[in-house]
């Protein structure tokens, strides 16, 4: 297999030589010429990218550029939208998740997801975290279930705030707490990859900071892919950044390079705020 990522050619944009830093380890997630369609509309065009394990990769780009769509192809969340179609390959640990015989339910347990708008179930805090364990049959006994719920809440830095009201409704929590609960819920089923779709876009600066600290701490255990509208956030939390524009991947490189010395004019215009 070739080690060089296929950078799509774009009108007026020349393909660049890959940066060694991007390719020196086996990829955790690898997309190969991925196209995605909503009905007759092509939302992703020939996306090829190699995402490294145990780092934070940020997807940036203007609204409608395909970054969320691409994120949702990585756990096949788009499957539940009618009339959608993916072409090409997405390899996770070398296995094509769009290949025949793939168990989508097992895939989604391995590739967790946190959504833009926090979506706790209308149940207790405990039951929110326990749900994934229960449906996947991952806890044998009540005490094991309780241990894993506590562990997950601790990983999401929420345990101290909620340990005395585990059986209260999750809907009574603040917005930032709800989003951390959704992260705890995703961590409970022990995924290796965590996808985050603008996880802090609806939160105030303090809650956002807590989520960002959490992302920093979690990347040692998980491979994290985060979609964000906020370029400062991408610069703060990510190690690698991919810039999407009109359904294409324009540039993918180390975050510091994207923000200080991008290879493409289009990237530079976007990160310096000239459009988007």
Partner 1 sequence: MTETATNATSARRQLMDLGFQVLALLVLCVALVSLGALIADIWSDGGSRLSWNFLTGFPSRRAENAGVWHALTGSVFVILVTAVLAVPVGVAAAIYLEEYGGRSVAARIIEMNITNLAAVPSIIYGLLGLGLFVRMLAMGRSVLAGASTLALLVLPVIILSTREALRAVPPSIREGSYALGATKWQTVWYQVLPVALPGILTGTILALSRAIGETAPLITIGALTFVAFAPDSIWSPFTVLPIQIFNWVSRPQAEFQVNAAAAILVLLALLLTMNAAAIWLRDRYQKKLG
Which residues of the chain form contacts with partner 1 (CB under 8 A)? 75, 77, 80, 82-83, 105-106, 108-109, 112-113, 115, 117, 119-122, 131-132, 135-136, 169, 171, 182, 185-186, 189
Nearest to 93 by CA among 78, 80, 106: 106
Nearest to partner 1 of 15, 171 (CB atom):
171
Smallest gap from Cβ 129 to partner 1, in A, equals 10
Minimum CB–partner distance for residue 197 and partner 1 (Å): 10
Sheet holding 41-51, edge to edge: 41-51, 29-38, 84-92, 95-96
Alpha helices, H only, 95-230: 104-110, 125-135, 142-155, 159-162, 175-188, 205-218
Residue (22 or 77) nearer to partner 1, CB: 77
Q: How far is the CB of 237 from partner 1 (least distance, A)?
A: 21
Q: Which residues, including other chains, have CB under 8 Å from residue 112's CB and lie 6 or more apart? A: 75, 186, 187, 189, 191, 193, 194, 195
* CA 192 – CA 196 distance, rounded (Å): 13
CB of 81 to partner 1, least distance (A): 10
Rounded to a whole number of angstroms, the minimum distance from the CB of residue 109 to partner 1 is: 3
Q: How far is the CB of 114 from partner 1 (least distance, A)?
A: 8
Our CB check for partner 1 shows the closer of 15 and 106 to be 106
* DSSP 8-class letter at 80: G
Nearest CA to 88 out of 103, 77, 74 is that of 74
Nearer to partner 1, 16 or 165 (CB): 165
Smaller CB separation from partner 1, 120 or 247:
120
Alpha helices in the chain (DSSP H): 20-23, 67-73, 104-110, 125-135, 142-155, 159-162, 175-188, 205-218, 231-237, 255-260, 265-271
59 pairs with which residues across the strands?
A: 227, 242
131 or 159: CB nearest partner 1: 131
């Amino acid at each position: 297999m070739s080690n060089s990522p296929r950078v799509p050619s774009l009108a007026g944009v020349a393909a660049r030589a890959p940066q060694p830093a991007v390719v020196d380890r086996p990829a955790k997630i690898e997309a190969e010429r991925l196209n995605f369609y909503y009905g007759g509309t092509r939302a992703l065009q020939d996306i090829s990218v190699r995402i490294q394990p145990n780092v934070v990769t940020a997807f940036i780009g203007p609204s409608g550029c395909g970054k969320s769509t691409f994120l949702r192809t990585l756990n096949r969340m788009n499957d539940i939208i009618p009339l959608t179609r993916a072409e090409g390959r997405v390899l996770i640990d070398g296995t094509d998740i769009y290949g025949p015989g793939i168990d989508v339910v097992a895939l989604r347990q391995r590739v967790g997801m946190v959504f833009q708008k926090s979506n706790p179930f209308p149940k207790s805090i405990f039951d929110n975290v326990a749900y994934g364990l229960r449906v996947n049959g991952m806890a044998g006994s009540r005490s094991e279930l309780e241990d894993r719920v506590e562990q997950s809440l601790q990983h999401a830095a929420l345990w101290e705030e909620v340990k005395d009201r585990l059986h209260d409704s999750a809907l009574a929590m603040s917005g930032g707490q709800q989003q951390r609960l959704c992260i705890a819920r995703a961590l409970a089923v022990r995924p290796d990859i965590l996808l985050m779709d603008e996880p802090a876009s609806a939160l105030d600066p303090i809650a956002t900071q807590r989520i960002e600290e959490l992302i920093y701490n979690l990347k040692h255990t998980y491979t994290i892919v985060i979609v964000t509208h906020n370029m400062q956030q991408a610069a703060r939390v990510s190690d690698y950044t991919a810039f999407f524009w009109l359904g294409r991947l324009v540039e993918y490189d180390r975050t510091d390079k994207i923000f200080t010395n991008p290879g493409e004019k289009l990237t530079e215009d976007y990160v310096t705020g000239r459009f988007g």
